Homo-oligomer: A and B are copies of this chain.
Amino acid sequence: MDSEFQERLTTVNGELVQMTRLVGSAMNRATQSLLDADLTMSESVIAADAQIDMLASDIEEQCFDLIAAQRPPAEDLPFVIGALRIAASLERMGDLAEHVAKQSRLRYPRLSIPQELRGTFAEMGGLAEAIVSKTGAVIATQDVSLTADIARHDQEMDRLHRELFTIVLSSSWSHGVEAAIDVTLLSRYYERYADHAVSVTRRVVTIVTGAPYVGVSLV
């Protein structure tokens, strides 16, 4: 076993975990900016996305170099290829947090979400946080027992997304078309964020178990 090679794999894995922290922090702060109409917070999320993009590029380059220069043994290839895909999914999660922050900024100094949906978005933010933290743990430990938890959170996110449609389309909705569109798109960003996290954990399961990755990509 080439120890330099193994060290580099460990570095890449550590950077993937760091990405989960960054995109987790981005979504938490984006949710906060949404609930408080906090422009400074929105701007900080938007500015920080470049760091997430750079980290993803760096991981990509490292994986590429590992394959090209280091010629990894066949059993390590799934990790290297998987890392490429995981970095792309995490980068997209960062983009989705940025979308939430931009939506918040767009309506500043007004709030983007009416009072009766604050609870829904607070819950979605909490689910996003739980999902991405557990995704980070799965990557860090390769302990795939957390995937059931993550899948359950994702189902809860889907339920909230569907429920939001019911609220927006009910006869008691009094906030008009613009607010309806705002909250629908916002809700979709959270739902996609969770989907990407699930796709990341599926990739890790594939790497760990060696099972073939099941077709439906969420990337």
Chain A binding surface SS class: helix
Judged by a CB distance under 8 angstroms, whether A208 is at the interface is no
A56-B217, A85-B88 given as contacts; is B169 within 8 A of A177 (CB)?
yes
Binary interface profile of A, 174-209, with partner B (CB < 8 Å = 1, else 0)? 001110110011001000000000000000000000
Q: How many residues of A contact B (CB 8 A)?
A: 41
Which residues does chain B contribute within 8 Å of A169, judged by CB atoms? 177-178, 181
Judged by a CB distance under 8 angstroms, whether A53 is at the interface is yes
Are B92 and A64 in contact, with the CB atoms below 8 A?
A: no
A168 contacts which of B50, B85, B165, B177 (Cβ < 8 Å)? B177
Number of copies of this protein chain within its complex: 2
A181 contacts which of B60, B67, B85, B184 (Cβ < 8 Å)? B184
Instruction: Report the Cα distance A74→B66, complex, angstroms.
Output: 11
Chain A residues at the B interface, C-beta cutoff of 8 Å? 50, 53-54, 56-57, 60-61, 64, 67-69, 71, 74, 77-78, 81, 84-85, 88-89, 91-92, 95, 165, 168-169, 173, 176-178, 180-181, 184-185, 188, 212-213, 215-217, 219
